[in-house]
């Protein structure tokens, strides 16, 4: 059976289901909001027998479905009988937090459109009590920041292998031409030995083996590469747990032709060998180095 990661997001209105779905979407999940429960099994089977287009799926099912919501348990039982793997994520929050969020958004509670918000919350808690007991994960979002919430979801649902689908863009540049505006991490490599002052290497760039050999032969370079590359390897899961789906690493030397390009080529190979999705751009390679 094809391995499908199928997450059913449910819980209290105002507890963060919309935000959760957005975080799952940023991690590459195919996402559907307010899915009628009667479609659960059919949707799973559609993905199961497809050509591999959808392997990670997250859907939100909640009381907005009205009478359709009552079909949820029948669908869950059918999926269990057929051996389909799924996880239920239940989001909840305290009454005070939910009321505050409704006041801030000026929304009406779906179970009390003309009445008090607290009455709707009480009805919803009672209606969802059995579903909460069936959930694989229960998260109370009352005092959670967005970043903390994203990190908790990451630790539960985004495995290391799937995290490596994060998009990493390595950009090399020359400081004389300006630092890239969209850089998340900037590393200055101007302290490394400069091939520009070796006349035989001046016509080449950091993509040429001669320049790479020169830059990387020094003990200083080897020590820097070991420490910096391991730092990047440590930081990537931390960024992912905070909900970051795209990272720009900028490597700069004086002109962006030799040293930064050579280190960028090495860093791309280092990360690609560990399963990360890496793009490399040499912005100033043809503009010269001094």
Q: What is the pLDDT of residues 134-193, one digit of tens each?
A: 899 899 998 888 877 887 888 788 765 555 567 889 999 999 999 998 899 999 999 999
pLDDT of 203 > 90? The answer is no
Residues 167 and 276 both lie in one domain: yes
Structural domains of the chain, count = 2
Residues 152 and 196 both lie in one domain: no
Residues 22 and 125 both lie in one domain: yes
> Residue 160 has what pLDDT?
57
Q: Terminal CA-to-CA distance of the chain, rounded, Å?
A: 59
Residues 85 and 174 both lie in one domain: no
Question: For the CA atoms of the chain, what is the radius of gyration?
Answer: 25
pLDDT of 288 > 60? The answer is no
> Residue 242 has what pLDDT?
67
Residues 126 and 187 both lie in one domain: no
Contact 266, 175 (CB under 8 A): no
Residues 174 and 102 both lie in one domain: no
Check residues 166 and 90 and name the one with the higher pLDDT. 90
pLDDT of 260 > 90? The answer is yes
pLDDT of 227 > 90? The answer is yes
Length of the chain: 290
Q: How far is CA 142 from CA 12, 91, 95, 139, in A?
A: 11, 10, 9, 9
Residues 186 and 242 both lie in one domain: yes
Domain with 21, as residue range(s), is 5-158
Residues 11 and 143 both lie in one domain: yes
Residues 171 and 140 both lie in one domain: no
Task: Please report, for the domain that includes residue 79, its CATH number.
Answer: 3.40.50.300
Q: What is the pTM of this model?
A: 0.58
Mean pLDDT highest for which of 40-49, 67-76, 218-227, 229-238?
218-227
């Amino acid at each position: 059976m094809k391995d499908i990661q199928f997450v059913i997001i449910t819980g209290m209105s105002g507890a963060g289901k919309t935000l959760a779905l957005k975080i799952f979407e940023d991690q590459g999940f195919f996402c559907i909001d307010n899915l009628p429960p009667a479609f659960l099994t059919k949707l799973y089977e559609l993905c199961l027998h497809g050509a591999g287009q959808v392997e990670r799926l997250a859907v939100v099912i909640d009381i907005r479905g009205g009478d359709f919501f009552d079909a949820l348990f029948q669908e869950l039982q059918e999926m269990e009988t057929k051996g389909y793997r799924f996880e239920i994520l239940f989001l909840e929050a305290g009454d005070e937090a939910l009321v505050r969020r409704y006041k801030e958004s000026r929304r009406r509670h779906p179970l009390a459109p003309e009445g008090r918000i607290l009455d709707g919350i009480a009805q919803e808690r009672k209606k969802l009590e059995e579903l909460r007991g069936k959930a694989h994960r229960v998260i109370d979002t009352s005092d959670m920041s967005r970043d903390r919430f994203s990190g908790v979801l990451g630790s539960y649902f985004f495995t290391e292998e799937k995290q490596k689908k994060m998009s990493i863009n390595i950009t090399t540049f020359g400081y004389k031409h300006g630092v890239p505006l969209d850089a998340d991490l900037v590393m200055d490599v101007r302290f490394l030995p400069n091939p520009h002052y070796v006349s035989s290497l001046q016509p080449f760039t950091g993509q040429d083996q001669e320049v790479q050999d020169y830059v990387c032969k020094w003990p200083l370079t080897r020590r820097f590469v070991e420490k910096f590359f391991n730092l990047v390897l440590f930081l990537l899961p931390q960024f992912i747990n905070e909900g970051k789906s795209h990272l720009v690493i900028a490597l700069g030397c004086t002109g962006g032709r030799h040293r930064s390009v050579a280190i960028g080529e090495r860093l791309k190979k280092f990360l690609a060998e560990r399963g990360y999705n890496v793009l490399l751009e040499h912005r100033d390679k043809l503009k010269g180095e001094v």
